[in-house]
Amino acid sequence: MQNFEDWFEKFNAWSFSGHQLLNRCKQAYYYQHIASALKSSPVLNVSKIKRLKGLKSKYVVQGSLVHDAIEDQITQHYFDRNISQESAQENFLKRLKGYETCADDMITEFFNGEKIDPAFFENIRPSGIEMLDTFFKIVWPNLKPLEYLSHEKFDRFILEGVPVTVKLDYITKSNSGKLVLSDWKTGKERRESNLQLGAYVLFAMQKYDTIPENIFSEIIYLGSSGRSRPYRFSSDQLDEVKEIVVSDFETMNSSYEIDNFPADPYPQKCFTCSFASVCPDSRHKDQVVVLDDPSDPINDMLVDIVE
C-alpha cells in the first residue's frame, strides 16, 4: 500500500480535468494525482513532483488569468459591491507580470528549456484585455440581472457511488426559476465535449433537487465576441456521462503503481508536460523547435484542463 498524505482519500475524486489528463497521458495523470499525494517514495522525487504540479503551460496561462480576474469581480458582485472592468484588467496585467518575471519557474515550456520570448507576453496581454472587455460589456449585462447562486467554487457530489469534483464558473437562477449554468472559455470556439457540462448538470440536479428540463447550460466564448452556445441533455446523454465517470474512476484507482500508468510520449506533448523533467519516457528534449500553434489538438486539451 502506498504511503499517502492524509488528504488523499478525502480529495480523491473524478473530475473533468482528471479525465482529460488521463486520456492525454496516463503517466502524467499518475504524477499529478497520485505521486504528488505520496508522503515519500524510494524511487520517485516526491518533493520535486509536488513542485512541478504548480507549473502551467503557455497555452493555459492567459485563460487562467482571465478566469481569475473575472472570479474576483463576481466575488465583489456577491458582496453587493460594484464590479470594475478596470480593476479586472489591472489584476490580469499584474498577475501576468508575475508570470513574465518568473517565467522559467512558473511556465512549463520555459521550465523545460524553451528560450523565454518576450513576444509571448506581448501577444497574450492585449488579447486577454480584449476578452475581459467582451465579458464586461457583452456577457455580464446578460448575467447580472439573474439571481446569484454560486461561482468558481469546488463542489463535490456522489455519482453512482463515485465522488465527483466540479467547479462551475457561474450558477444563477432566471426569473422563470430555471437554473443557468454558465462556463466561459478563452480558447477558440469549437464543439465541446458533453462530458464537462453533463457533469455540471448532474451536480446541479442533486444540489438543487431539480430535473434536466429545469437547467439551462451554456458555453460562452470570450474570444468570439461573447458568443453563447446552449446545451441541453437527455436522460440517455446523462447516463452516458455516468458510465464514463464510473469507468474512469475505476481506471484511476485500479492501481497506485506507476507501472500501471504508461506514458504516451511524443515531443510536442512532452514539452508541454509539467512532469517532463522527472518522466523517464519523456521526449521533450527531442523538441528542438517548439511549435507555438494554438490549432494543435494537444493545446486544445491543455486549455480544457484549465477551463
**pLDDT given at position 290:** 44
Domain that holds residue 192: 147-247
**pLDDT given at position 99:** 96
**pLDDT given at position 192:** 65
**pLDDT given at position 300:** 52
**DSSP 8-state symbol, 208:** T
**pLDDT given at position 295:** 44
Structural domains counted in the chain: 3
Return d(Cα 92, Cα 64) in angstroms, integer: 10
- Is there a domain that residue 204 lies in? yes
Which three three-digit cell numbers place residue 120? 509571448
Query: Which of 143, 175, 197 is where one domain is finished?
Result: 143
- Is there a domain that residue 130 lies in? yes
User: Quick one: CA torsion of 235, 241, 245, 251, rounded to 10 degrees?
Assistant: 120
Q: Are residues 105 and 170 in the same domain?
A: no
- Is there a domain that residue 260 lies in? no
Q: Are residues 164 and 217 in the same domain?
A: yes
- Is there a domain that residue 24 lies in? yes
CATH number, domain with residue 205: 3.90.320.10
Q: Are residues 46 and 62 in the same domain?
A: no
- Is there a domain that residue 81 lies in? yes
Query: Which of 93, 111, 143 is where one domain is finished?
Result: 143
Q: Are residues 151 and 243 in the same domain?
A: yes
Q: Are residues 237 and 168 in the same domain?
A: yes
pLDDT, averaged per 10 consecutive residues of the chain (307 residues), comes to: 88 96 97 97 96 95 97 97 97 97 96 94 96 97 97 97 98 97 90 87 98 96 92 94 98 96 94 96 75 48 51
Query: Which of 247, 274, 292 is where one domain is finished?
Result: 247
Question: What letter represents residue 264's amino acid?
Answer: D
- Is there a domain that residue 86 lies in? yes
Of 229, 221, 142, 156, nearest to 189 by C-alpha is 221
- Is there a domain that residue 40 lies in? yes
Q: Are residues 151 and 180 in the same domain?
A: yes
Q: Are residues 131 and 214 in the same domain?
A: no
CA 163 to chain centre: 18
Q: Are residues 100 and 153 in the same domain?
A: no
Q: Are residues 35 and 65 in the same domain?
A: no
**pLDDT given at position 224:** 82
First to last CA, the chain: 33
- Is there a domain that residue 208 lies in? yes
User: Is 0.85 topped by the overall pTM?
Assistant: yes
